Structure 1
């Protein structure tokens, strides 16, 4: 069978399914010619189409018309045409939408295949398998692809080579039936597993002491029909018969109720994680993680078709599948290519290979200059997500230093309150059936009754910024549908789903701002992240009156410690009162600054950003309090912090200062680099650990730390309040993509090429010729090699000793 040649294009369709009519295509063409073009279809005609479809449905349920007449309806043809145009438009607007449309097409193919098997429809069976071929090829199911293609070619020739078999298959005998019902066809492989193999393993079967010799197997198999007749006669004699009813189990009320419940669960999930939103990014709707630029699974059908085309003219034995030609999924974490193939990097496997390949300490230290992972694990949670910062830990560390000494002044009445508009949105639940104006009124009453004529500062969501990744993480991948609403419209969406859309959020904040202004509150809108603007307004208010900044964000506490003036009125930072047993902290910023001292307050922006904030990574295994401790103890650490405050610092200066600061954080010495420190830590942990060394417990490489330092510098400059001529994100550790800004991880590959393409030989000679696969690929033999073991051949650093050599 496998000697067939892929030397022709498969037919587009193997035939018309048995339940179709010749008149259907003519009727569809006539309906398509008769219907008006899109620009002539008015809203009224659209409503008329839906009304017409409903009437047809009623007639079908009542038995007034047949299913064939429904299929020939012009109304359904028009609706189908409009739906198809909408699907094509959706696929062009978003790659995520295109992926899900493709997924639905795959489900339709599966349903087509199941229907063909259950009803014995031969033409539909072949068509479904042909439709599967591109997806099988694109997904790497190579044996299925080859076998199914040869199968389709042989079935195409069946009509001329074995017409009697073709006729029986068209009559539905390519499937096996255990009853005469329409929906009772079973695939032969399924029957073999559930009937023949089951009988073989049950009482009386071959596995029950009879033996598995050829004679026993033949005797047992040929006696099966006779045994079946005896079994049927015994059932008739005893009156014990097995009969099946006409009702399918899927038609029971319990099954329908459960299916409907599951359907609602899926719909509810898809409403919160809408794959058909206007967001152009290519993402995982469950986690919100954006795909790498190499991912092309949304065009898997085209990828598979190209693979099938390349098979033409070759036998199955001649054709070789290449991994680089297959579709790249979101689960493929690495973008490494070795000899043109896509390589997924497994950290455990790399570490095991490292032990084999590294024959001396120099090789081991050189290999550890790479991350040995598809992303820097000490800085990233995944291929694109920064390690989430534990920001409250810094506030706890500061409170531990100065908390008992801060004057316990209560916030006096008459203070000016400054509020974070983003946090304000989360304070009030949205009532069902309320209008948007009513909800804005609820917020206004909450603010005026509790805080008086407050100053409210809102974030901006109209443009992308480096904090978009944090917003994406917080929303957990949820993207709500865009809603064009007015003040008098009733809210029909859940609050979380509505605010998960940036356009909805920006429009609602504008409406809320107008209502607050009518209540004599001051409102301000930042172009992006509002943290700096909030602090600036609080500091400005403190020049004329005692001011309270309400909130819980550690970023705001850090910014207040940096920007607040000791010559102004009292400035407090207070947590929102909540129903908890823990007493909320009240920070007197002036007293806090005095107790921390001018040096720490001057450098607190760097101390916060270097160990993780919303736009920088948390260093694995290092707490936020470590930066405060190192700043007090290390002169070298304090010197590096100065570089991050220079307005005109170069990227090289920042990268060098950042690496030295991180070496101190990892308890290194002034002579260490991050790469050398990785080597020493690896050796220490291998010698003392009882399990394998995880990559994230090692310091990051110098290549990855460089971009982390650039992002820290950018954030410090933004917090300082640099003007518009300040650093641009694309020059300081970020790159601009369709979905916004994403962090640059490193410029080095995940591992040395020697580890990624490790090769072993099994030479019987001394590995001196190109017959040795290691020597052929310019790689030295290693202990993984078969005979030489990497030590007794000419292709290794450990040359064999002659007997005459003196051994010292």
Structure 2
């Protein structure tokens, strides 16, 4: 109806979603409905926490005496009804705004493995309390899980007595299985995927695997939810121990316990000193970090607060230092110039003094090979293998 047809007493009505976002409104609505139902001799059970398990428990109890129709919009309720229903129950139906579902027929269409893994799969791949895994649909993952390759890890989530440590280990292994990297670490899988996407020029962070810390918290929440559904008991364990924390609006998920970034990045600072950065006038020195390439004057190379010892090249040292090595002695990165020339003696080259800093050596200049080799070794350890000494 258009605005002219709205009755005056309805013009200020609040949308349902916005109304229910207010916890006070929700509490008052529940109180009003409960009191009205009781006045009409309808049994009401009010839940302090999530009502889904209570709904399923009461529906199963009623199905022992006759057929039952459950009205809900939550897929969690349907999954629990399918898992817990048996041949001894009378017909069970779940009715939503999209139609009605026969619980018995759904269960009969599933294999034994699918029946066993249904609760775990629904929880781990995303439900009301556990985030979904971007780029991996429920149907696809359900089929992969039921192939049996991850059975030993899934069984841990179905064990109501499993420890937190085993749950985290199993959850991490399942994530590695999802991303096809069972023989490596999540960090390596994440780095390799990032590198491929960066090379392609398109990076969507949500499609990357979770970090080890995020996978641990996800696994704990998924285990707690699966356990609640198995036992039909809300908050069967302390949520604060299983991926949740108490915030302003109640329980909130813990994304990860790992730091946001390495400490050296969190303490990022730079200076613009005209001296040698050796005293506390230097903002880098004052904050206890080394100078970096973003520093205005020293560029993290020409000062006493660098992460390396800069080799001073002067005429008084020329007689004591060897000349630039030939291409057969050291692999180098030629400076921009004639692409047909690869001779570092004629074009100059760059020596890696640290992970992020390079010193340009002009053609024919002497260089400290020991320092260069030490810097190269440091880069090898950090995974930077652009520069390798030839055997």
Write out per-residue CA displacement over residues 582-619 of structure 1, whole angstroms, 9 at most, x where no aligned residue.
Answer: xx544332232222212222221111111222222223
Residue pair 2:49, 2:234 contacting (<8 A) in 1 also = no
Name the SS of the counterpart of 2:226 in structure 1: helix
User: 2:157: which partner in 1?
Assistant: 644
User: 2:105: which partner in 1?
Assistant: 591
Residue 671 (1) aligns with residue 195 (2): no
Shift in Å at residue 564 of structure 1?
A: 0.7
Shift in Å at residue 474 of structure 1?
A: 6.7
For residues 53 and 29 of structure 2, what CA distance do their matches in structure 1 show?
A: 20
Residue pair 2:34, 2:44 contacting (<8 A) in 1 also = no
Residue pair 1:704, 1:746 contacting (<8 A) in 2 also = yes
User: 2:201: which partner in 1?
Assistant: 689
Pick aligned residue for 1:680 from 175, 180, 192 = 192
Residue 803 (1) aligns with residue 366 (2): yes
How many aligned residue pairs are there? 308
Write out per-residue CA displacement over residues 223-260 of structure 1, whole angstroms, 9 at most, x where no aligned residue.
Answer: xxxxxxxxxxxxxxxxxxxxxxxxxxxxxxxxxxxxxx
Distance 1:506 1:587, change over 3 A: closer
Name the SS of the counterpart of 1:573 in structure 2: strand
Name the SS of the counterpart of 1:635 in structure 2: coil
Report the RMSD for the aligned CA atoms in angstroms.
Answer: 3.4
For residues 707 and 789 of structure 1, what CA distance do their matches in structure 2 show?
A: 40
Pick aligned residue for 1:743 from 232, 236, 253 = 253
Residue pair 2:123, 2:222 contacting (<8 A) in 1 also = yes
Name the SS of the counterpart of 2:146 in structure 1: helix
Residue pair 2:54, 2:232 contacting (<8 A) in 1 also = no
Q: Which has the higher contact order (CA 8 A, sep 6+)?
A: 1
For residues 561 and 761 of structure 1, what CA distance do their matches in structure 2 show?
A: 64
Residue pair 2:158, 2:227 contacting (<8 A) in 1 also = yes
Residue 538 (1) aligns with residue 64 (2): no
Distance 1:546 1:747, change over 3 A: same
Name the SS of the counterpart of 1:717 in structure 2: helix
Write out per-residue CA displacement over residues 188-217 of structure 1, whole angstroms, 9 at most, x where no aligned residue.
Answer: xxxxxxxxxxxxxxxxxxxxxxxxxxxxxx
Shift in Å at residue 784 of structure 1?
A: 2.1
Name the SS of the counterpart of 1:649 in structure 2: coil
Residue 508 (1) aligns with residue 32 (2): yes
Shift in Å at residue 646 of structure 1?
A: 1.5
Residue pair 2:270, 2:295 contacting (<8 A) in 1 also = yes
Pick aligned residue for 1:602 from 109, 112, 116 = 116
For residues 108 and 159 of structure 2, what CA distance do their matches in structure 1 show?
A: 24
For residues 199 and 64 of structure 2, what CA distance do their matches in structure 1 show?
A: 59
Distance 1:724 1:700, change over 3 A: closer
Shift in Å at residue 508 of structure 1?
A: 1.5
Shift in Å at residue 712 of structure 1?
A: 1.4
Residue pair 1:651, 1:710 contacting (<8 A) in 2 also = yes
Name the SS of the counterpart of 2:109 in structure 1: helix
User: 1:165: which partner in 2?
Assistant: none
In the TM superposition, 1:20-35 aligns within 5 A as none
Distance 1:615 1:516, change over 3 A: farther
In the TM superposition, 1:123-162 aligns within 5 A as none
Shift in Å at residue 628 of structure 1?
A: 0.8
User: 2:328: which partner in 1?
Assistant: none
State the TM-score, normalized to the length of structure 1.
0.34
For residues 550 and 741 of structure 1, what CA distance do their matches in structure 2 show?
A: 27
- Larger helix proportion, structure 1 or 2? 1
For residues 474 and 624 of structure 1, what CA distance do their matches in structure 2 show?
A: 29
For residues 475 and 676 of structure 1, what CA distance do their matches in structure 2 show?
A: 46
User: 2:167: which partner in 1?
Assistant: 654
User: 2:266: which partner in 1?
Assistant: 756
Residue pair 1:547, 1:572 contacting (<8 A) in 2 also = yes
Name the SS of the counterpart of 1:612 in structure 2: coil
User: 1:715: which partner in 2?
Assistant: 225
Shift in Å at residue 688 of structure 1?
A: 0.7
Shift in Å at residue 730 of structure 1?
A: 1.9
Larger Rg computed on CA atoms: 1
Write out per-residue CA displacement over residues 521-548 of structure 1, whole angstroms, 9 at most, x where no aligned residue.
Answer: 5544434322122222332333343333
Write out per-residue CA displacement over residues 749-797 of structure 1, whole angstroms, 9 at most, x where no aligned residue.
Answer: 3222322332234456776676654455443443323345445666235
Residue pair 1:516, 1:522 contacting (<8 A) in 2 also = no
For residues 725 and 476 of structure 1, what CA distance do their matches in structure 2 show?
A: 23
For residues 111 and 196 of structure 2, what CA distance do their matches in structure 1 show?
A: 38
Pick aligned residue for 1:705 from 212, 215, 222 = 215
Shift in Å at residue 716 of structure 1?
A: 1.2
Shift in Å at residue 748 of structure 1?
A: 2.6
Distance 1:655 1:620, change over 3 A: same
For residues 678 and 708 of structure 1, what CA distance do their matches in structure 2 show?
A: 16
In the TM superposition, 1:776-791 aligns within 5 A as 776-790=286-300
Write out per-residue CA displacement over residues 349-378 of structure 1, whole angstroms, 9 at most, x where no aligned residue.
Answer: xxxxxxxxxxxxxxxxxxxxxxxxxxxxxx
In the TM superposition, 1:32-111 aligns within 5 A as none
Residue pair 1:539, 1:565 contacting (<8 A) in 2 also = no
Shift in Å at residue 720 of structure 1?
A: 1.4
Distance 1:745 1:782, change over 3 A: same
Residue pair 1:608, 1:624 contacting (<8 A) in 2 also = yes
Residue 732 (1) aligns with residue 256 (2): no
Residue pair 1:630, 1:664 contacting (<8 A) in 2 also = no
User: 1:552: which partner in 2?
Assistant: 73
Write out per-residue CA displacement over residues 13-66 of structure 1, whole angstroms, 9 at most, x where no aligned residue.
Answer: xxxxxxxxxxxxxxxxxxxxxxxxxxxxxxxxxxxxxxxxxxxxxxxxxxxxxx
Name the SS of the counterpart of 2:126 in structure 1: coil
Q: Which runs of 5+ in 1 are unaligned?
A: 1-267, 274-425, 427-472, 481-499, 577-583
User: 1:91: which partner in 2?
Assistant: none
Residue 574 (1) aligns with residue 95 (2): yes
Name the SS of the counterpart of 1:559 in structure 2: helix
For residues 694 and 788 of structure 1, what CA distance do their matches in structure 2 show?
A: 36
Shift in Å at residue 627 of structure 1?
A: 2.6
User: 1:617: which partner in 2?
Assistant: 131
Residue pair 2:117, 2:146 contacting (<8 A) in 1 also = no
Q: Which runs of 5+ in 2 are unaligned?
A: 1-10, 309-351, 354-358, 370-388
Name the SS of the counterpart of 1:596 in structure 2: coil
For residues 276 and 195 of structure 2, what CA distance do their matches in structure 1 show?
A: 33
Residue pair 1:548, 1:573 contacting (<8 A) in 2 also = yes
